[in-house]
Chains A and B, each alone.
Chain A
Amino acid sequence: MAQADLTMDHSLERNGKHPEKWNWYHYFWYNTDHKVIGIQYLVTSFAFYLIAGVMALFMRAELYTPDSDLLDPNMYNALLTNHGTMMIFFWIVPAAIGGFGNYLVPLMIGAKDMAFPNLNAIAFWLNPPAGALLIASLFFGGAQSGWTAYPPLSLVTNNIGQSFWILSIVLVGTSSILGSVNFLITIFKLKTPNMTWDELPLFCWAMIATSILALFSTPVLAIGLVLLLFDINFGTGFFRPEMGGSVVVYQHLFWFYSHPAVYLMILPIFGIMSEIVTTHARKPIFGYKAIAYSSLAICIVGLFVWVHHMFTSGTPAWMRMFFTISTLIVAVPTGVKIFSWVATLWGGKIRFTTPLLFAVGLLAMFVFGGLSGVTLGTAPFDIHVHDTYYVVAHFHYVLFGGSVFGIYAAVYHWFPKITGRMYNETWGRIHFVLTFIGTNLTFLPMHQLGMQGMPRRIAMYDAQFEALNQICTYGSMLLGFSVLPFLINMIWCWAKGKPAGRNPWHSLTLEWQTTSPPAIENFDEEPIIWAGPYDYGIDTQSLETEATVEEMLEEVGQEVR
């Protein structure tokens, strides 16, 4: 082993010379260190989160009254399109997969870096031009056909904005494919040799599932969008019915990616949940294998549920029924995860740190979002509420209450590791309370709005819905305000927080066993796995009863024999 290490060090000295420690300007330029890339992803995606959040605030302000009086309706549609696009493709996906995936996966498996550091950097650097294209599209009026960009609307509305939008999404899609290849190979090839597969942290299991899903589905979206680009600019008629094309084919291509995209946005978060809940409850994860395999189950079943977005479209009855049942089946592995986390909390010694609060907030809201998801999965009911505010409510519960809460939890949890400093717990808790109340105030009333008859994506609505819409708008103001304590806390503590030390949470996963922030190649020497990633409670148990020590010794003895 030592021999191998030595040769590796030599090769690194030859090929990749790097300073002892990165300077601030290293973070603003091409860099192959997975930790730098992770931070680059997190910071850029957070900027997009703020932009897209402001867009949402403008939309909620417009919806404060039934009439279209604040914004031009074309502008409103541009906002709703780009709010969705940015939140999905430029915030949740890059923050969860690009940000935490890159930062954590090599650390958690005891690797020095990703398998292909240059590919990793290239994947990140596809994002700024993609973002620039999207922002450029706004100066031409922006894409206005929703993030789904259904033709023929996308063919006839603001062609320049729509074309820029397509190019932007194809670029981030490419980035996502490159990233997925890298994650899979990194986990399969660079996992430290003495870590067995059932010692792999659950976040890495989630990243495996996520990467497989992205590899299978993203190219299909690219196909759909490139055909759309040709239809808009080069006179083809793939989706033009008057030329023999079919608009429904686009919907299939789009949703074949975009339903799995929902899991791209939540599977890494599920991984984050497993890490955080067990660390802060000081208890082993309940049902490690069930959680690991349920990620893979969600990944596989998730590839076969896309038509539930098209129950009212041009889909025959058998398709509506098949996809009703496959959609309902996804609830089972998701339920397994939720129950396992509750069981992990049960009997623990729960520390009410900010990451745990956000994780529990996620759990509470995801249960609700999951249940409303089951109702949406059944075609007979979905036909009523499809494309209404009920859907808006549902996916904000799982994407905001789920994914964004998960990202917040992760930011607080790994802040000491990433920056080497502690965040301020009081401000973190204030942030949590504001966000939790704001989320429910904003999105809970939307369920009723949808069922009562308010469709989504409208700038003007029936006056009978005014009162509930005003509650939603107040909630969104609270949500907008809730970002401030987070920002202050992060910026202030990154500069002046208390030094955190190596492992402030006494966590057992590998990333906490190195310095904070980790050295450039993560570990001075190949890490040795001396306990499973979630083996909390072994020490205390052995201290309490002697019998256990003997049993353990016996067990070890048997294993040796």
Chain B
Amino acid sequence: MAQEKETVPSSLITLTVGLLVAGISVWYGQNNGLLPEQISKQAPLVDNLFDLMVTIGTALFLLVEGAIVFALIKFRRRKGDETDSPHIKGNFPLEVFWTAIPAFIVIGLGIYSVQLYSEMGGFDNVKKAVASNPAESIVELASASRSDINPLLLAQGNSIINRYGIGGNPDTAKTLPDLEVNVKGIQYAWLFNYPDSGITAGELHIPVNEDIKLNIEAEDVIHSFWLPQFRIKQDAIPGETTQLRFTATETGTYPVVCAELCGAYHGAMRTNIVIHTQEEYAQWVEDNKIARSPDFEQTVAATSQPVDDGEFMKPYVKDLGIDAESLKALQ
């Protein structure tokens, strides 16, 4: 190859190709537009990791595919040439190079992932804070607690501290979440119970910019609680309460999706998360406390048909065998 390219120095070609690939990769990494809106504090973190991987991936993709296409064109068999190619069996330094570079990249990605996962709250530092220095933590937590939740419970295991899921990150772990919601997955709906106000709803209503913790459980089969715009997901597992802790950064209505196959109408198991301003949220709590009349069945009936997805679920309600009684049994 070298002798044919003598008019243009090969180092110049390499430089140009390198710059071009780098430019395209960085641009595409930043502007791929593949992920939806970012509504939680975790979302930008995850997206940064994804964008970095897209940048590296695009560069590798362009180089390898480019090499393949170039080789196919340049090294095609010419007509009438029945001979073999030169007897080259390998190049040890080159092989070391292409083993070492990916190794460095993946180790770097691994370290970054661990750090990022910690920032997302994956290590649930609440447990750590309590375990390492119980007395101090409890004082700290107690001073931070704003509601009637007993901070001592926090140190007492599974009822509030869940073993699996996304919990408090090193910052948020120091304080109790502003709002806890108990989430229950049933075939094929999500039920949201607010322990502090006693509300049960079919949609998740939360205030913006507050630290929310979901305690997720499953009634029948495994479900998976996914908030695509929040970039977080956690399976709801029968017999085990899991958690998701997050802070919404924008108001609006976004989908809640079940991501684990849970039966025939798995695809219809969707509802909404509605993020209010603090005032709106307080109003919503008031309204629903009033609505929570002794006539329990009516409230529950309303929850089985979430406002937006009601149309969607309607054709299936009969098939699902959901009636007031079966719902009552769940409570």
Contact = CB atoms under 8 A, between A and B. Distances in A.
Interface of A: 68, 72-74, 76-77, 144-146, 148, 150, 152-153, 156-157, 241-242, 245-248, 281-290, 312-317, 320-321, 324-325, 328-329, 331-332, 335-336, 338-340, 342-343, 345-352, 360, 363-364, 367-368, 371-372, 374-375, 378-381, 383-384, 386-388, 447-448, 451-453, 455-462, 534-541
A13 to B, nearest CB: 42
B35 interface: yes
B247 to A, nearest CB: 16
A152 B221 contact: yes
10 contacts: A152-B238, A156-B220, A312-B224, A314-B237, A371-B60, A380-B49, A380-B117, A459-B267, A460-B267, A538-B84
B202 interface: no
Contacts of A538: 84, 87
Contacts of A534: 89
B257 interface: yes
B222 A153 contact: yes
B274 to A, nearest CB: 17
A345 B64 CA distance: 12
A312 B261 contact: no
Contacts of B65: 364, 367
B36 to A, nearest CB: 5
Nearest to A338: B64
A453 B87 contact: no
A57 B234 CA distance: 31
B226 interface: yes
B245 interface: no
Interface string B24-62: 000000000011100000000110011001100100110
Contacts of A350: 71-72, 75-77
Given A448-B34, A460-B267, A379 B117 contact: yes
B270 interface: yes
Contacts of B134: none
Nearest to B110: A325
Contacts of B226: 387, 453, 455
B259 A387 contact: yes
A336 B98 contact: yes
B262 interface: yes
Contacts of B85: 281-283, 347-349, 536-537
Kindly list the 6 A-B residue pairs having the minimum CB-CB distance in the complex, ordered from nearest.
Answer: A241-B239, A458-B267, A453-B228, A537-B87, A73-B264, A328-B106
B75 A345 contact: yes
A379 B122 contact: yes
Contacts of B49: 378, 380-381
B236 to A, nearest CB: 10
Given A329-B106, A346-B71, A374 B264 contact: no
B220 A453 contact: no
A461 B257 CA distance: 10
B222 A317 contact: no
Nearest to B257: A455
Residue from A286, A321, A348, A372 whose CB has the most chain B CB atoms within 10 Å: A348
B114 interface: yes
B180 interface: no
B224 A367 contact: no
Contacts of B89: 284-288, 534
Given A74-B264, A317-B117, A284 B50 contact: no
Contacts, number: 290
A72 B77 CA distance: 53
A131 B257 CA distance: 35
Contact of B64 (A76, A241, A367, A386): A367
B275 interface: no
A150 B233 contact: no
B99 A332 contact: yes
Given A72-B264, A342-B71, A374-B106, 19 more contacts: A148-B261, A150-B221, A248-B237, A287-B91, A321-B117, A345-B71, A346-B67, A347-B1, A349-B77, A350-B71, A364-B65, A371-B57, A378-B53, A380-B113, A453-B255, A536-B87, A540-B83, A540-B84, A541-B86
B235 A375 contact: no
B239 A312 contact: no
Contact of A451 (B35, B60, B163, B222): B35
A348 B83 CA distance: 10
Contacts of A283: 84-86, 88
A545 to B, nearest CB: 11
B205 interface: no
Interface in B82-108: 83-91, 94-95, 98-99, 102-103, 106-107
Interface of B: 1, 34-36, 45-46, 49-50, 53-54, 57, 60-61, 64-65, 67-68, 71-72, 75-78, 81, 83-91, 94-95, 98-99, 102-103, 106-107, 109-110, 113-114, 116-117, 120, 122-124, 163-164, 166, 220-222, 224, 226, 228-229, 231-235, 237-240, 242, 255, 257-268, 270, 312
Contact of B228 (A285, A313, A336, A384): A384
Contacts of B262: 153
Contacts of B260: 150, 387
A364 B68 contact: yes
B234 A462 contact: no
B64 A447 contact: no
A381 B46 contact: yes
Contacts of A343: 91, 94
Given A317-B123, A375-B50, A387-B224, A247 B113 contact: no
A453 B267 CA distance: 12
B221 A153 contact: yes
A284 B75 contact: no
A460 B257 CA distance: 12
A375 B53 contact: yes
A146 B312 CA distance: 24
B124 A317 contact: yes
Contacts of A286: 88-91
Contacts of B83: 282, 349, 540
Contact of B261 (A77, A247, A348, A375): A77
A378 B45 contact: no
B46 A384 contact: yes
Contact of A146 (B35, B232, B261): B261
A367 B233 CA distance: 28
A399 to B, nearest CB: 19
A381 B123 contact: no
A328 B113 CA distance: 11
Contacts of A453: 36, 226, 228-229, 255, 257
Contact of B113 (A145, A248, A371, A379): A379
A221 to B, nearest CB: 19
B228 A452 contact: yes
